[in-house]
A and B are shown apart, each in its own frame.
Chain A
Amino acid sequence: MSRYMVNKVMWEVDRSEDALAAFKADPRAYLESWEALATRPISPYPEGGSLTASEREALTARDYGALYVMGVNPFLLWQFARSVSVPDEMGIEGLITSFREAVEPHGYPEFFT
């Protein structure tokens, strides 16, 4: 498990409009192509990365509770959740409620990388 890699993919989805559109259209395919970037022998900069099966699953399912308890950065998680879920899937108020329900049982996991 790498908290950094999960943070990195959430960061890229939030910061790039193209990545956000691709992730929203097909999260599994986006993650697959993101992981493939990291296997190229030569890259202009360290693109992509590798994820474990459970990390891939939590990202694909937008399981914010599972991601939170893994110790991803809370700020990056919220930005990611807001970008992928609002406004297409729900309004901000709906996300605030469902996000709180997802993370509340887990208290404050350590999020150092």
Chain B
Amino acid sequence: MAELVGVLGVTHNPLMWGILRESVPDDMTGVVANFDRFRSLVSDLTPDVVVLVASDHFHMLMMANMPAFMIGKAPEMRAAHPSEVRQFGLPPSRVSGDPELASHMLGGRHLAGGLDFAFSDEPWLDHSFLIPLLFLTPELEIPVVPIFTNCNAPPLPTSTRFAELGTYLGEAIRSYPGERRVLVVGSGHLAHELGGPRQFLGTSPDPDFDRMAVSWMAAGDLDAALAVTSFDRLTEAGNESYQFLNFITCMAVAEGRPAVFAEGTPTRFGNLPFFAWETR
């Protein structure tokens, strides 16, 4: 049987990549330390596969065909799109998949569960997937099941739906008959803005939201998180903050356990999220 070995939540800010390739500036030392800590956690957990919950930013998916939740089930995937190679210096990469586990999550001939996932036989991962992988598994040697969530093109799934996604993923992992050690990783933001008046302010657009959000994780308080995370409140925290909801999915995978590590690490890009849950 498959085993859920842990749950992590991390930032995917792509501008970090170029900055940290050079040298580590003072404001990024905390982020580097946390990625070191999380990379060592991943090594200790020895996962066979990473189920990675992230939100494509109009690289693979566009409004002509916009799924709410989509599972990638290819044996191998491209990662990094041309504009990301140009703008962020991301390395064009190949990542292995796990079609058997992904197909189990989808449910065989009929879709399982109540979520009606879309699927992709040719997913192409953008920085929301690749940045966590490059920092947590730099050799990209561990297969990945990508779970795409729509956080960028409204109408969006509600925060309750993101929690249901997490509950479903946890059950699907535990019920998989094959031998797998499965690590779940959520990729997202705390308060974050891009393309609006509060982008690149050098600080968080909403420190109060960040403090609240970190305290929900530390307490394992899913109900409090769901009560606050409406579209309007998240937009007040910054027009890209909806990707915080991938961490609500993580909370639900962890079945309400308090996070063993929860931090919004301050940087020039605002507070960057680092969350870890033990699941045994």
Contacts and interface: CB of A to CB of B under 8 A. Distances in A.
Contacts of B219: none
Contact of A111 (B57, B83, B154, B194): B154
Contacts of B261: none
Contacts of B87: 79, 82-83
Contacts of A15: 59, 81-83
A50 B91 CA distance: 35
Given A15-B81, A100-B197, A113 B63 contact: yes
Query: Interface extent on A, as a size class?
Result: 20 to 34
Contact of A75 (B64, B86, B155, B195): B195
Interface string A35-60: 00000000000100000000000000
Residue from the set B64, B197, B199, B240 with the largest chain A CB neighbour count within 10 Å: B197
B153 interface: yes
Interface string B199-242: 11000000000000000000000000000000000010001100
Closest 5 CB pairs of A and B: A74-B195, A78-B195, A104-B197, A112-B154, A96-B200
Interface string A79-113: 10011000000000000100110011001100111
A11 to B, nearest CB: 6
A77 B195 contact: yes
A17 B81 CA distance: 11
B153 A113 contact: yes
Contact of A78 (B59, B155, B199): B199
Contacts of A28: none
Contacts of B153: 73, 113
Interface string B62-85: 111000000000000000011100
Contact of B197 (A14, A79, A103): A103
Nearest to A81: B195
Given A15-B82, A112-B154, A113-B153, A7 B57 contact: no
Contacts of A112: 154-155
A8 interface: yes
A75 B199 contact: no
